[in-house]
Amino acid sequence: MATELIVGLDLDSKTEALAAVAACGSCRCFKIGSQLFTRCGPEIVREVLGLGKDVFLDLKFHDIPNTVAHAARAATDLGVALFTVHASGGRKMIEAARTAVESTPTRILAVTILTSFDDTAIREELGLHETAAEAVPRLARLAVSSGAHGVVCSAQEIAMVRAAVGPEALIVTPGIRPAWAGRDDQTRVMTPREAAQAGANGIVVVRPILKHPHPAEAIRLILEELNA
Ligand code: C5P
C-alpha cells in the first residue's frame, strides 16, 4: 500500500494556511492541529475541505466517553478523514468514539505516549511502571482492540506498533526528514523512504515542506522517494 504524505498546517492564520494548501497543490491530505484550530476554528477545516482536500484533525481528544463521543460526532459532521484521541483515555472512551463514527468514512487514530515523554517522565510523572517501549505497544493494542483504526507513533516505533496492532491498522508517523532537509528540533528522524519501508501508512511532514523556498518541489521530491 502506498504511504500517504500528510502536510501539517502548523500555522497561525487562515491566510497562511490557505496559501500553504495552494502551494502544496499535489498533496491531498492536510493535518490541522490545536494551533491552527484554536486560532481559526472549524471554519478553517471547512475551507480546506472545500478545496477538495482531506483533513486530519489532530486535536487529541481525551475526556469522558460521552464528551469524546460528541466531539467525534462533530468531527464526522465536519467531514474530516481522520482525527486523533489519546489511547490513555481508555477502552470505553475509544469505543464511544468508534460508535460515533460508525458508518461514516471518518477514521480514528490513537496517540500512545507522546514522544516528549522519556522513561523517567513516564515513571515519575505518569506513574507508570513501564518504559516507553513497553507502554507504546500496550496502548496501541488497547486502542485498536477498542475500535481505533490506527495509531500515531514516532518513526522509531513503527515496527513495535505494527507487531502489536497487526497488518490492517493504520500507522501515521511524524518526525520525518528527507536527507536534503535540516532536522530542526527533531532528534530521532527517519527519511520518507525508511518510514515507508518500515510500514507507515502515512507520514506527517511540516517544516521540510513549509519552510522550503519551493514547497511544491519539496513535495515532488518526497513523493518521488515514497513511490521509489
Ligand atoms: O516540522 P515537522 O515535520 O517536524 O512537524 C512534525 C509535526 O508532527 C508537528 O505537527 C508536530 O507537532 C507533530 N508531532 C511530532 N512528534 C510527535 C507527535 C506529533 O513532531 N511525537
Given ligand 1 and candidates 206, 207, 211, which is best to mutate, with the most ligand atoms within 8 Å of its CB?
206
Given ligand 1 and candidates 114, 117, 204, which is best to mutate, with the most ligand atoms within 8 Å of its CB?
204
Host H or E run for residue 121: helix 119-124
In the chain, domain spans: 4-226
> Amino acid letter at 190?
M
Residues with CB under 6 A from ligand 1: 8, 10, 33, 114-115, 154, 174-175, 184, 186, 204-207
Measured by CA distance, the residue closest to atom 7 of ligand 1 is 174
Give the contacts of 203 (CB within 8 A, at least 6 positions apart).
3, 4, 5, 6, 172, 173, 174, 176, 192, 195, 196, 226
What pLDDT is stored for residue 185 in this prediction?
87
Q: What is the pTM of this model?
A: 0.96
Instruction: Please tell me the distance between residue 66's alpha carbon and the centre of ligand 1 in angstroms.
Output: 28
Supply 223's cell numbers. 513523493
Instruction: Please tell me the distance between residue 115's alpha carbon and the centre of ligand 1 in angstroms.
Output: 10
What pLDDT is stored for residue 1 in this prediction?
67
Active site (catalytic) residues: 60
pLDDT digits (tens, 9 = 90+) for 105-121: 999 999 999 988 899 99
Return the CATH number of 4-226, one of 3.90.1150.10, 3.20.20.70, 1.10.10.10, 3.40.50.2300: 3.20.20.70
The DSSP annotation for 157-204 comes to GHHHHHHHH-SSSEEEE--B--TTS--TT--S-B-HHHHHHHT-SEEE
Instruction: Please tell me the distance between residue 174's alpha carbon and the centre of ligand 1 in angstroms.
Output: 5
Alpha carbons 89 and 93: distance in angstroms, whole number: 6
What pLDDT is stored for residue 160 in this prediction?
96
Would you write out the chain's pLDDT as a tens digit for each of its 228 residues?
689 999 999 999 999 999 999 999 999 999 999 999 999 999 999 999 999 999 999 999 999 999 999 999 999 999 999 999 999 999 999 999 999 999 999 999 999 999 888 999 999 999 999 999 999 999 999 999 999 999 999 999 999 999 999 999 999 999 999 999 999 888 888 999 999 999 999 999 999 999 999 999 999 999 999 988
| Residue appearing with cell numbers 523556498 | 213
